[in-house]
Amino acid sequence: MPQQLAAVTVLVPDYDAAIAYFCGRLGFDLIEDRPLSADKRWVLVRPSGSTGSALLLARAANEAQSAGIGVQAGGRVFLFLHTDDFDRDHARLVATGVRFVEEPRAEPYGIVAVFEDPFGNRWDLIEPAEVR
């Protein structure tokens, strides 16, 4: 069987706040929310309509994990959200209150703008050049 990346862990301070952001503001689908113990859940989200990789929302369970929230990529862009219509999705995200930290710009690889989630992670919203 060919390998594929199934999920990427994103540390969050609270499961429900993370679900509200990813599903409410970004429009992701909640794929799974299953209790694993009294204080641990298996929470998977992914972009609506996508069948690709998911994000595993993992509540930080100790001080070391809490220190990693929002800095998993050391301040660089951590996650890359591709779209087939940059203008549509940028406008929708702005309307839902997503905080963009850069204006949209054209790059050789496509149209891109950086936004930050409420946990401090930086994201690229990208319409790849081959889509335009």
Q: Which domains does the chain have, with CATH numbers?
A: 1-63 (3.10.180.10), 75-132 (3.10.180.10)
One pLDDT digit (tens) per residue for the chain, 132 residues: 799 999 999 999 999 999 999 999 999 999 999 999 999 999 999 999 999 999 999 999 999 999 999 999 999 999 999 999 999 999 999 999 999 999 999 999 999 999 999 999 999 999 999 987
Closest listed residue to residue 55, CA positions, set 104, 6, 95: 6
Q: What is the pTM of this model?
A: 0.94
Q: How many CB atoms lie within 10 A of CB 17?
A: 14
**Nearest C-alpha neighbor of 71 from the set 26, 13, 25:** 13
* SS3 label, residue 91: helix
CA distance 128 to 132: 7
Nearest Cα neighbor of 125 from 76, 71, 84 is: 84
